[in-house]
Amino acid sequence: MKLLAGNSNQALAQAVSDHLDVPLTRAQVKRFADNEVWVTIDENVRGEDVFVIQSTSYPTNDNLMELLICIDALKRASARRITAVMPYFGYARQDRKTGGRTPISAKLVSNLITRAGADRVLTMDLHSGQIQGFFDIPTDNLLSAPLLANDIKAHYPKPDELMIVSPDVGGVVRALSVASRLNAELAIVDKRRSGPGKSEVANIIGDVQGRRCVLFDDIIDGGGTLCNAAQALVDGGASEVSAYVTHGVLSGAAIERVDASVLKELVMTDSIAAPERAASAPKIRYVSCAALIGEAVRRIANEESVSKLFD
């Protein structure tokens, strides 16, 4: 087994390396003067099972090109099998035609990864499950629900006080999987989206009066949706509101928006490298997903079942 890290999240790659007790492959992933990506693998990978760890987060296009060129370099170096380990899969929100003359970018990106030479993909909490079908190669979609549910259980020991909340109708299945693990009740925020990145809360489905509410979602981008939902829950009588999210994109003024909101805390995995501003944000906390990804990598390398990690 070989582990190759791109530049998108080197801290996570090192944590996965430490978990597996496998050193990161020596490589140079740099830029030419005009910002073209330049990759050199500095050790022999012929006949090896190589895992490329690279989230396609901001800057999305740069990190995606790094991943593609790393895969191409490994393919031309005669690696036996190449697995693209993408803790966060960028462009996942463009997974269908939402209007006339619009792209399905998630399918385009999956084609690029496949044509570059990847033999399989390992990712976590895809925005929509059907994206697995966009790949013509084996694709494992890890779930963060067991990881985050354990953290919720540690911080909310009384399930009768707890209410898991989906911030929109589309996330009900995701939130329900956490609620069932915790034996907690479920509420739903009826969100109406007026445009990309813009949403309004219309109704709250469920009685949140006096409950400690936990919003559960896969992505926080600008933070408007979660912060609006948290305010609506407080207005509806919730005693406190926290949020658990898999992927912390945190674009624009998201961190400032979270700090100024009624949220007690925002808990995220480290699938995306934390921006420097998040380290000093009082309401933001991270839970490492390195052990989950590392165990999945080990199971793939040993040809063992990955689905057992979903239990």
Average pLDDT, the chain: 94
- The residues assigned a catalytic role are 191
Mean pLDDT to the nearest integer, 74-79: 98
Mean pLDDT score, 242-258? 96
**Cα angle, residue 127 at apex, residues 73 and 263 outer, rounded to 5°:** 120
The strands making up 162-166's β-sheet, listed across from edge to edge, are 198-205, 185-195, 162-166, 212-220, 240-248, 266-269, 284-287
Distance, in Å, from the CA atom of 149 to the CA atom of 162, rounded to the nearest integer, reads 12
Residue 195: the pLDDT is: 61
Of 53-57, 252-256, 307-311, the poorest mean pLDDT is in 307-311
Residue 98: pLDDT band (50, 70, 90) is: confident
Give the span between the Cα atoms of 253 and 78, in whole angstroms: 44
Alpha-carbon distance 286 to 269, whole Å?
5
Condensed to tens digits (0 to 9), the pLDDT of residues 99-148 reads 899 999 999 999 999 999 999 999 999 999 899 999 999 999 999 999 99
The third-level CATH classification (topology) of the domain covering 2-142+291-310 is Rossmann fold (3.40.50)
Q: Return the number of other C-beta atoms located less than 10 Å from residue 245's C-beta.
A: 25
- Confidence at residue 24, expressed as pLDDT on a 0 to 100 scale: 98
- Reported residue count of the chain is 311
- Please state which CATH class domain 145-288 belongs to: alpha beta
pLDDT tens, 172-230?
Answer: 999 999 999 999 999 999 877 666 556 667 689 999 999 999 999 999 999 998 999 99
Put simply, whether the predicted model's pTM sits higher than 0.85 gets the answer: yes
Mean pLDDT for 80-89 is: 98
Stretch(es) of the chain classified as CATH 3.40.50.2020: 2-142+291-310, 145-288
Task: Round to whole Å and give the CA distance between 168 and 165.
Answer: 9
